[in-house]
């Protein structure tokens, strides 16, 4: 009958660095974190949301579900290696499976700009279908909104996904322990540089392709090995953001070996020309796994046998020193702090 | 290991009335249906999606889940009676519960325009929290994207929701049978006219308020009565669109009595001035239930005891004649066809 009165929630407007939204509030760096900590969490926070994992773990009578959402606003909507359609499927599949869940169902919500060619929409929806088939998930519900010309930029896509977490599995950003090894599944910065070079119309764009891919197959091929404490896919903010979040969540330090971090030559070249650090650049088909030291070599071997993990390497170690910090040693043996990204390197990368 | 090759899906570009997206493609009428039938379903269709209910029913080991998604692009973002924040919560809660499910978990994805005042965002997020508390659901995962000024209009919100369907309950748009009664839970067109008058700055806006509300409490108060075959909330396209969809899904006719359909005086006045038919106008806190004739009076009585169903009335009957059509008899005894809406009465109403 719901005649009970629920006390209305209110909280004062927080003091923030800016009074209006900046591009960097969506970049996955420090301003994103401020928006989260001062606006979203005080208003919406609860035990599940406060974990700040890329997906929620929901206890249900039939077991634990993994639930995640992501809105895709990438520009341009077509880029070398993919488009906003497969990106939207792969991105949510990846968020759902980073706790070991098996992704099964996706919703899709389109915002279309008046005037968008239906041929472009059709090509994107075809990519959605193919990406879903490849990842083994089904699109089960959807929504379409249209806004006036000028009220959005071509199209935005939200996908939300549901997966099932195998019993007994507990993978979380808070599980890192000193001595654990950091494994990266492949080269960094492919997606970010593919989008950026496409946007700028640069000539090397043909050799730089997005790595957009669903990682659930790779995840299910390494999980049986055991010893995996945490997994994350380094998207916005790149590996630097993810490693900082892991270090903070677990209250540990992380030490990286710069020489071990794989970057394709063409991508490195593009990064150098544009003054961009691959460590801070988005990936859409890579994962970082933090594993027990004695399992590291076996996990690495299993990863390398999967097409999406052929270039996997151990890039660092978890330490008890410098909790919450990521350090990186270069070829000269000099260590520097890898900070949380602050500003917007590449807006609308996903 | 996913080395199996999955055959790539492709389908030819369909012939359509327009080659570019029109506002009416998002209006819930005939052009929306064409986009669905010629683009979305041929590419993405599967047994679950093809049902075209407002929510997917997912079979899981622990029972059936109800899963729904909706992106909200309402303009203006603040309107009499609510804002885009509570609308986004209530809209998805309502879609999730129209098959009798108990909504539990919501995701939320924001697209923010650079330059949006953080004070406005804060007010909206506070409304999200209050609406979620009132509906008894938790926001468990979220995402925020920021786009450049001019690339979206202030903010868009996607919510996706999960609910649990009680065992043995089978409510579906395909269940209508001749003789069933059509119950409407209250007055029509409040939301649509509140948004429209706010947009136009009309002076009667103070007396016309959105009916935005979560209907899960009302649903759970009428379900125990039994005899409910179908429920829908008449949002975009209004009661006319929903009744046409029900008639088509079940292959039955529907006859309405125009004199029974409740519309508030202020809303009727606004509709007349603006030349808008309340039957085609969006509601955000009303439901239409199709019930067995012998249960109709008991369901009606239960509905009227709930604050959101005080003005509930039986507005019509399901017939075996005229399958797929909705007819309405006016006070002179003249029957007319209530067509599926074609164009865009009110863009960006939700």
- The pLDDT assigned to A61 comes to 87
> What would the pLDDT profile of A234-279 be if each residue is shown by its tens digit?
998 999 999 999 999 999 999 999 999 999 999 999 999 889 999 9
Distance from CA of B157 to the nearest CA of A (A): 9
Average pLDDT rounded to a whole number, residues A149-159: 97
Interface test with B, best of A69, A96, A105 (most B CBs within 10 A): A69
Is B160 found in the same domain as B61?
yes
A325, A176 contact by CB (below 8 A): no
A318 is a domain residue: yes
Q: Which of A117, A147, A158 sits opposite B19 (nearest CB)?
A: A117
A228 three-state secondary structure: strand
Beta-carbon count within 10 A of A341 CB: 24
Tell me: do A183 and A257 sit in the same domain.
yes
Place of tokens 């969506």: A26
Contact: B67, A105; criterion CB under 8 Å: yes
pLDDT, average across residues B33-40 = 94
Tell me the C-alpha distance between A51 and A59, whole Å. Answer: 15
Interface contact A163, partner B, CB < 8 A: no
| Structural domain boundaries enclosing A118 | 54-164
d(Cα B8, Cα A78) in Å, to the nearest integer?
18
Per-residue model confidence (pLDDT) at position A201: 77
Flag the least confident range among A54-63, A211-220, B68-77, B321-330: A54-63
How sure is the predictor about B1, in pLDDT bands with cuts at 50, 70 and 90?
A: very low
Mean pLDDT of chain A: 94
What's phi and psi for A16, nearest 5 deg? -135, 165
Residue B203 has pLDDT above 70, yes or no: no
Give dist(CA A319, CA A326) in Å, integer.
10
Give the pLDDT of residue A3.
45
Query: Are both A191 and A247 inside the same structural domain?
Result: yes
Among A145-159, A196-210, B5-19, name the one with the lowest average pLDDT: A196-210
Same domain, B158 and B239: no
Place of tokens 């890329």: A54
Domain presence at residue B3: no
| The pLDDT of residue A2 | 44
Nearest by CB to A144, from B35, B115, B125: name it. B35
Length of chain A: 350
Q: Is the pLDDT of residue B305 over 90?
A: yes
ipTM reported for the complex, 2 dp: 0.95
Q: What span, in angstroms and rounded, lies between the C-alpha atoms of B83 and B256?
A: 32
**Chain A residue numbers touching B134 (CB-CB < 8 A):** 6
Q: pLDDT category, B347, cuts 50, 70, 90?
A: confident
pLDDT at B189 over 90: yes
pLDDT at B4: 53
pLDDT above 80 (res B206)? no
Inform me whether the pLDDT recorded for A45 exceeds 50: yes
* Chain A nearest CA to B85, separation (Å): 12
Per-residue model confidence (pLDDT) at position A344? 59
- The runs of H, that is alpha helices, within chain A are 30-35, 41-44, 84-97, 118-135, 190-200, 216-222, 238-250, 265-274, 296-304
The answer on A203 and A141 residing in a single domain is no
Dist. CA A248–CA A348, nearest whole Å = 26
Domain boundary among B119, B147, B164: B164
Decide which of A110, A134, A164 is a domain's last residue.
A164
CB contact under 8 A, B112 and A26: yes
pLDDT at res. B204: 62
> Is B50 in CB contact (< 8 Å) with chain A?
no
A204 at B interface, C-beta within 8 A = no
**Could you tell me if B214 and B140 lie in one domain?**
no
Structure confidence by residue, pLDDT tens digits, B212-262: 999 999 999 999 999 999 999 999 899 999 999 999 999 999 999 999 999
Least confident of A138-142, B13-17, B121-125, B206-210: B206-210
Domain membership flag for residue A143: yes
pLDDT of residue A345: 64
Least confidently predicted of A125-134, A199-208, B294-303: A199-208
Q: How confident is the model at residue A206 (pLDDT cuts 50, 70, 90)?
A: low
Model confidence pLDDT, tens digit, residues A316-349: 999 999 999 999 999 999 999 999 887 656 789 9
With CB atoms and an 8 Å threshold, state whether B26 touches A141: no
Residue A114 sits in a domain of what CATH number?
3.30.1330.10
Cis peptide bond N-terminal to A76, omega within 30: yes
- Does one domain contain both A333 and A194? yes
Q: Domain end: B164, B184, B202, which one?
A: B164
Residue A283 has which token pair? Answer: 């990936």
Name the more confident of B317 and A2: B317
Q: B68 and chain A: CB distance < 8 Å anywhere?
A: yes
- For residue A33, being part of any structural domain is answered with no
Q: Cβ–Cβ of A109/B307 closer than 8 Å?
A: no
Q: Which residue has the tokens 């325009």?
A: B113
B60 domain-assigned: yes
Residue ranges in A103-189 assigned as alpha helix (H): 118-135
The total number of structural domains in chain A stands at 2
Note whether A131 and A181 are same-domain residues.
Answer: no
* B residues 112-141 lying closer than 8 A (beta carbon) to A: 112-119, 121-122, 125-126, 128-130, 132-134, 138-141
How far does A321 lie from chain B, in Å, by closest CA? Answer: 31
Residue B30 has pLDDT above 90, yes or no: no
Residue B32 lies in a domain: no
User: For the residues B94-106, what does the mean pLDDT come to?
Assistant: 98
Same domain, A63 and A112: yes
Q: Are residues B313 and B194 in the same domain?
A: yes
Predicted pLDDT at A30: 84
Give the pLDDT band of residue B141 (cuts 50, 70, 90). very high
Indicate whether B290 and B185 sit together in one domain: yes
Strand A253-257 to A326-329 pairing: parallel
Residue A62 confidence (pLDDT) above 90: no
What's the pLDDT score for residue A246?
96
Answer yes or no: is B16 within a domain: no
Residue whose C-alpha is closest to residue B197's, from B186, B207, B187, B185:
B207
A298 touches chain B (CB under 8 A): no
Residue B316, domain CATH? 3.90.650.10
Within this chain, do residues A331 and A210 fall inside the same structural domain, yes or no?
yes
User: Average of pLDDT values for A46-71?
Assistant: 93
- The whole-angstrom separation of Cα B93 and Cα B214 is 6
Task: Classify residue B231: in a domain, yes or no.
Answer: yes
Question: What is the mean pLDDT of the segment spanning A64-84?
Answer: 97
Say if CB B221 and CB B287 are below 8 A apart: no
Averaged pLDDT, B145-151: 96
- As a whole-number percent, the residues of chain A with pLDDT over 70 amount to 96
Q: How many CB pairs under 8 A join A and B?
A: 318
- Residue A145 or residue A53, greater confidence: A145
Q: pTM score, two decimals?
A: 0.95
The per-residue pLDDT for B184 is 98
């Amino acid at each position: 009958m719901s005649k009970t009165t629920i006390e209305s929630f209110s909280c004062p407007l927080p003091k923030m660095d800016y009074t209006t939204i900046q591009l960097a509030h969506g970049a996955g760096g420090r301003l994103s974190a401020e928006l989260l900590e001062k606006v979203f969490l005080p208003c919406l926070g609860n035990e599940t949301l406060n974990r700040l994992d890329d997906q929620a773990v929901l206890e249900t009578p039939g077991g634990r579900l993994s639930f995640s959402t992501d809105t895709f606003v990438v520009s341009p909507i077509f880029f070398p290696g993919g488009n906003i359609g497969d990106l939207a499927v792969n991105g949510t599949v990846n968020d759902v499976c980073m706790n070991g869940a098996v992704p099964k169902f996706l919703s899709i919500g389109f915002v279309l700009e008046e005037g968008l060619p239906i041929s472009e929409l059709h090509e994107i929806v075809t990519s959605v279908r193919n990406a879903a088939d490849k990842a083994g998930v089904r699109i089960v519900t959807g929504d379409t909104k249209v806004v006036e010309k000028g009220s959005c930029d071509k199209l935005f896509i939200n996908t939300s996904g549901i997966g099932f977490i195998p019993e007994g599995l507990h993978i979380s950003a808070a599980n890192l322990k000193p001595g654990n090894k950091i494994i990266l599944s492949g080269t960094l910065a492919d997606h970010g540089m593919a989008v950026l070079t496409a946007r700028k119309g640069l000539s090397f764009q043909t050799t730089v392709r997005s790595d957009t891919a669903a990682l659930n197959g790779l995840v299910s091929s390494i999980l049986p090995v055991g010893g995996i404490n945490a997994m994350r896919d380094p998207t916005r903010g790149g590996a630097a953001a993810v490693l900082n979040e892991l270090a903070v969540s677990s209250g540990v330090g992380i030490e990286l070996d710069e020489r071990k971090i794989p970057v394709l030559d063409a991508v490195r070249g593009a990064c150098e020309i544009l003054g961009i650090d691959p460590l801070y650049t988005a990936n859409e088909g890579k994962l970082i796994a933090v594993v027990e030291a004695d399992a590291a070599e076996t996990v690495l071997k299993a990863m390398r046998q999967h097409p999406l993990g052929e270039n996997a390497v151990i890039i660092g170690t978890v330490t008890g020193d410098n909790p919450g910090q990521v350090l990186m040693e270069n070829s000269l043996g000099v260590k520097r702090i890898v900070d949380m990204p602050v500003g917007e390197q590449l807006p609308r990368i996903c």
